[in-house]
Structure formats: C-alpha cells, structure tokens
Structure 1
Amino acid sequence: MPLWLEVTLRTLSAVGILFIMTKILGKRQISQLSLFEYITGISIGNIAAYISLDTDAKWYLGLLAMSVWVLVSVAMEYATLKSKKMRDIVDGKGTVLVEKGAILEKNMWKERVTLDEFMEKMRSKSIQSLADVEFAVMEANGDITFLLKKEQQPLTAAALGWAVQPERQPQNIVMDGIVIEDALQHAGFDRVWLNKQLAAKGVKLEEVYLAQVDDAGVVTIQTGERSIP
C-alpha cells in the first residue's frame, strides 16, 4: 500500500475513533474542563496523531492507549459523581476573592489573579465599580462569579411582589425550510395551523430560514433576508 494512502486511512480511522471516544467522555470534555479532563484531552489528541503518522509503529498500540485513557477518565468522572471528596481533589474548589465588599489579597495571590485581570473580568460582567460587589468567587473552572450588593441588584418580579405566569422555551418549528414535527406538536399545533400562519404573513415554507412560536402562540419568521414578526 502506498505510504500516502496508509497515512490517509490511518488519519480517517483516528478521527472516527477520536469522535466516538469523545462522545463516550461526554459534553463536559468540550465545555468546562477539569484539570484531569484537560490532560486527558491533550493526551488522547497526541495519541491520535501518533496513530496517523507513525507508520513504523503498530497502530493498534495507539488504540489501546487511547482506550485506557478513556476508561480511566470515565472511571474518574464516575468517582467524582459519587464522592464530594473526590470532586474536591479532581475538580478543585472555588476560592473567595471578595467577601463583604473587600478583596482578599491572600486569595488573589493564591490563585495568581492580578488586579488587572480581576477588573477585566468585572467589566466583562458589566460591573464597573468594585464598590458594587458584595461577593466574588473564582470557580473551579477558572471563571469568576460576582454577587452584587442588594442596592445594585436588578429589580425582579419577586422583589416587586408581582405574580407572573411561567414561560416555556420558544419552539423552533421550521428550520431551513423543513418543518420540525416534534417541536410543532410539543407547542400544541399542527401543519394546518402552521400553513395558515405562513399564508397570513405571505411567506412560502421553502422561504423560511427559521420560524419560532412562543408560549402565547405568536410566530416569528426569519427568511434569508428579513425578520417577519
């Protein structure tokens, strides 16, 4: 077999295997990683590259190594689900950076967070003044969450004593000109109702890029050029 063809087949196989193993590891591997998951992701990627390019070695040894990494990672995730102590070891714990409006300098040093980085994170959360912050925590994933002082928190219906009706998530009933039957039925409507809505707005089904229906039965349609309320 020509070398270029062998490398191509190895690469395609590695991509397929990597995709399957990533699905096994779960969505956290592509969102918020713990330190151990970060190490696992890098290691599995390196092994996949080894399978693709190291034609002098036995490729199945790379597959074995990837399988061991995945098994260990799944076992660690299961252990963290069952044990708080294991979660603290593997995922780490949050660190308080601001308490009762005062920065805890010792904890800032511990987490190696500079004032510039802290202020930048504040601005990214639309907080301009430290005087508005009551509490701040650096989470295990490295993000910083803030709790504003009572007088700086936005008004809510509960704070005003208003009773509001619960809302459901708007349903995507048409995408790329195709009706999403499950979503349409979940919203409590059918094709006849949808056709009437499209006719009333002067839009053909094949022209619809996205159509959503909210809890009140109001349809919003987005074509390739405009939005139709």
Structure 2
Amino acid sequence: MPEWTQIAIRSVSIIIGLFIITKLLGKKQLSKLSFFEYIVGITVGDIAGTLSMDYDLDISNGVTSILIWTLTPLLIGKISLKNKTFRNFVEGNSTVFIQNGKVLEENLSREKYTADELLEQLRKKDVFKLADVEFATLEANGDLSVLLKKPKQPVRVEDLFSTYVRDKEPYTVIMDGMPLEKSMKTSGFTISWIQTQLEQKGYRMEDVFLGQIDYTGRMYLDLYDDVIPVHSMDQDAYLAATLKRCEAQLEWLAIVYPEYKQLYNSIQKDVQKITDNIVPYLRKV
C-alpha cells in the first residue's frame, strides 16, 4: 500500500475518532474551557496531528495516548460534579476585582492583571467609566462579569410597571421549506393554521426559508426569493379570517394568563360584536 494512502486512511480515522471524542467530552469543550480542558484540547489535537502525518509512529500507541487524554477529563468531570472542593482545585475560583465600587488591587496583582487590562476588559463590556461599576469579578474561564451601579443599569419593564405581560420565546415552525412538527406541537399552532396564514400572505410552504411565530400568533417569514411576487387574495375573506383569529387569540390569552382573564374575555366579546356587524356586509366568505 502506498505511503500516501496509509496517511489518508490514518487521517480520516483520526478525524472520525476526534469527532466521537468531542461528542463524549460534551458541548462545554466548544465554549468556555477551564485550564485543564484547555491543556487537554491542545494535547489531543497535537497527538492526533502528529499521528496522522508521522508514518513511523505506531498507531496503537498513539490511540492509547489519545484515549488516556480523553478519559482523564471525563473522569475528572464526573468527580467535579460530586465534589466542589475538587472542582475548585481543577477549574479554579472566580476572583473579585471590584467590590462596592472600589478596585481590589491585591486581587488584580494575584491574577497578573494591570489597570490597563482591567479597563480594556470593562470596555469590552461597553463600560467606559470605572465609576459606573458596582461589582466585577474574573470568572474561572477568564471572562469578566460586570454589575453596574443601579442608576447606570438599563431600565427594565418591572422598574416601570408592577404588572405586565411576560414575553415568551418565538417558535421556529418552518425551516428549509419544511414544517417542523415538533415545534408546532410545542407552540400550540397546527399545520393547517400555518398553511392558512401562508395562503393569506400569498406564499407556499416551499417558498419559506425560515418561519417563526411569537406567542401572540404573529408570523415572521424569510423567503428563499426575496423578490417573490405576492399572489392576489380575497381581501374580504382575509378581513373576516383576521377578526376570527383575534377572537381565538384572545380566548387563548385568557387561558394562558388567568390573572387577566376578565380583561381578555371582555375584549373578545367586543371583537365578536364587531365581527357580527361587519361580516354580513362583506362579500360571501
């Protein structure tokens, strides 16, 4: 067998092996790493690269080394989940840099941080005035977490209103022109309802690259063709369907938010009266 063929087979095998190892180590390896995880990642990558290129190395010895470097962090991770003292030893602790608006110089020195580096990290958090910071700590993964003083914090809804309707995450119901049935079941919207909404807008399911629905039933669509023409629709039918949709949505809101049930039921009755008065004057729908 030619040498290049063996190298190709080794490389493909190692790529597959590294993919499996990454899956075993979990998603944490893809985001923020501890000191130990950083060392493991570099070492395993170095061993794999050398093993795939160096024809003279015994592949069994290399695989054994990779397995040891893989199993060790898995074992350490299991122990860390059960023992906080061990976890603190392996992953380290956070270090407070600013407390009660004052910089703790001793902690900066211990972490080999200069004043310039501290200000640089604050600027990365969009904080340009040290006087605005109430508390800041260097996390074990090297990130700086910052808490602004109360007058400098963004205004939140609960700061202005004692009662408010909580927003919820949108649901992705269409992707690559195909309906996502699992997401539809979670959102509570049926595929027939979504198809009706698409027809009212003049689109087909296969025209949609990405479709999302928020908790109020508003739909956002991104089409494959951004200049696709909108098909004509029956405006009277669309108006009647919209009014009926409002009724159904208000009924749904009354169930989801029982503390506002009386308000939503009252509005629903008003919308129903409007529907009853308008529909007879529309063309047959």
* Structure 1 length-normalised TM: 0.93
1:14 is aligned to 2:14? yes
Checking the alignment, whether the CA contact within 8 Å between 1:173 and 1:184 is kept in structure 2 is: yes
Give CA deviations for 1:153-174 in whole Å, capped at 9, x if unaligned: 2222333342233433211111
CA–CA distance in structure 2, aligned partners of residues 103 and 2 of structure 1: 64
Give the equivalent residue in structure 1 for 2:117: 117
Q: How many residues align?
A: 228
CA–CA distance in structure 2, aligned partners of residues 129 and 225 of structure 1: 46
Within 5 Å, which residues of 2 pair with 1:190-201?
A: 190-201=190-201
Checking the alignment, whether the CA contact within 8 Å between 1:157 and 1:163 is kept in structure 2 is: no
Checking the alignment, whether the CA contact within 8 Å between 1:211 and 1:219 is kept in structure 2 is: yes
1:157 partner letter: V
Give the equivalent residue in structure 2 for 1:155: 155
The alignment partner of 1:96 has SS state of strand
Moved more, 162-171 or 190-199: 162-171
Give CA deviations for 1:46-87 in whole Å, capped at 9, x if unaligned: 121132112112212111111111111101011111111111
Checking the alignment, whether the CA contact within 8 Å between 1:51 and 1:62 is kept in structure 2 is: yes
Moved more, 62-71 or 107-116: 107-116
Give the equivalent residue in structure 2 for 1:38: 38
Deviation at 1:133, TM superposition (A): 0.5
RMSD: 1.7
Give the equivalent residue in structure 1 for 2:265: none
Give CA deviations for 1:119-160 in whole Å, capped at 9, x if unaligned: 222222222211110111001010101111122222223333
1:147 partner letter: L
Q: Return the structure number with greater helix share.
A: 2
**Identical amino acids, percent of aligned pairs:** 39
Checking the alignment, whether the CA contact within 8 Å between 1:22 and 1:29 is kept in structure 2 is: yes
* Residue segments in structure 1 that go unaligned for 5+ positions in a row: none
Query: Relative contact order, CA 8 A, sep 6+: which one is greater?
Result: 1
* Residue segments in structure 2 that go unaligned for 5+ positions in a row: 228-285
Give the equivalent residue in structure 2 for 1:84: 84
CA–CA distance in structure 2, aligned partners of residues 94 and 86 of structure 1: 15
CA–CA distance in structure 1, aligned partners of residues 13 and 164 of structure 2: 54
Give the equivalent residue in structure 2 for 1:5: 5
Give the equivalent residue in structure 2 for 1:134: 134
Within 5 Å, which residues of 2 pair with 1:36-75?
A: 36-75=36-75
